[in-house]
Chains A and B, each alone.
Chain A
Amino acid sequence: GAVVSQHPSWVICKSGTSVKIECRSLDFQATTMFWYRQFPKQSLMLMATSNEGSKATYEQGVEKDKFLINHASLTLSTLTVTSAHPEDSSFYICSARSGVDTQYFGPGTRLTVL
């Protein structure tokens, strides 16, 4: 079945640094990828939708200059958390859409900002 991977699986960084998270669809091409943020035992909050070759569409309240999304190819999207602060510590999950309805989720990246 389709697999979506994320790298790194966890990262610890100092406040003020930038962190890049990669999301890859391993055996299918994903024209659309989604980035979510999850707080412990809560629902996933959609941050942005990224389409290959075009600018990402951000949900209301998500700072596009802070969370930079690049969907450079049909199998790779990256999320860069710029100038990270402790409140950005969270679990970031990507998903990739294959076809009209099918969406596959990545395992998530745990970000801890000290």
Chain B
Amino acid sequence: DQQVKQNSPSLSVQEGRISILNCDYTNSMFDYFLWYKKYPAEGPTFLISISSIKDKNEDGRFTVFLNKSAKHLSLHIVPSQPGDSAVYFCAATSMDSNYQLIWGAGTKLIIKP
């Protein structure tokens, strides 16, 4: 039973356009969500996070939106750049699970020149 789902294994976007990566979750107890970016042969890099008390968090080109009623979050990257090509993982956590991370399977983002 996957509590965090990233239903798109891959996504291809034109350079300069907006990339939207989606993540759905089932556990309503999750209170903190994170996005990580991973290049091949490297560890995941923390990108941006959002607390369940917010519905939006923005950091430069990256914005995360949280829709608690739909149990859905998304990461927007605008404008997309070639260096954004990587695998993106969303993760969720909660205080009652001692903040263990529950990971999505990842979405491979390919930015086309």
Contacts and interface: CB of A to CB of B under 8 A. Distances in A.
B100 A107 contact: yes
Given A9-B98, A43-B36, A110-B99, A104 B105 contact: yes
Interface in B96-111: 97-103, 105-106, 108
Interface string A1-38: 11000000110000000000000000000000010100
Contacts of A46: 42-43
Contact of A108 (B36, B43, B101, B108): B101
A41 B101 contact: no
B103 A9 contact: no
A105 interface: yes
B43 A107 contact: no
A93 interface: yes
Interface residue tally on A, bucketed by range: 20 to 34
A43 B100 contact: no
A43 B46 contact: yes
A45 B36 CA distance: 12
Interface string B37-63: 010101111100100000000000000
Chain A at the B interface: mostly helix, strand, loop or mixed? strand
B43 A105 contact: no
A23 to B, nearest CB: 13
Interface string A47-66: 00000000000000000000
24 contacts: A1-B2, A2-B105, A9-B98, A10-B98, A34-B43, A36-B44, A41-B46, A42-B46, A44-B36, A44-B43, A44-B44, A45-B43, A46-B42, A102-B105, A102-B106, A103-B38, A104-B105, A105-B91, A105-B101, A107-B100, A108-B101, A110-B98, A110-B99, A110-B100
Interface of B: 2, 36, 38, 40, 42-46, 49, 87, 89, 91, 97-103, 105-106, 108
Interface of A: 1-2, 9-10, 34, 36, 41-46, 91, 93, 101-105, 107-108, 110
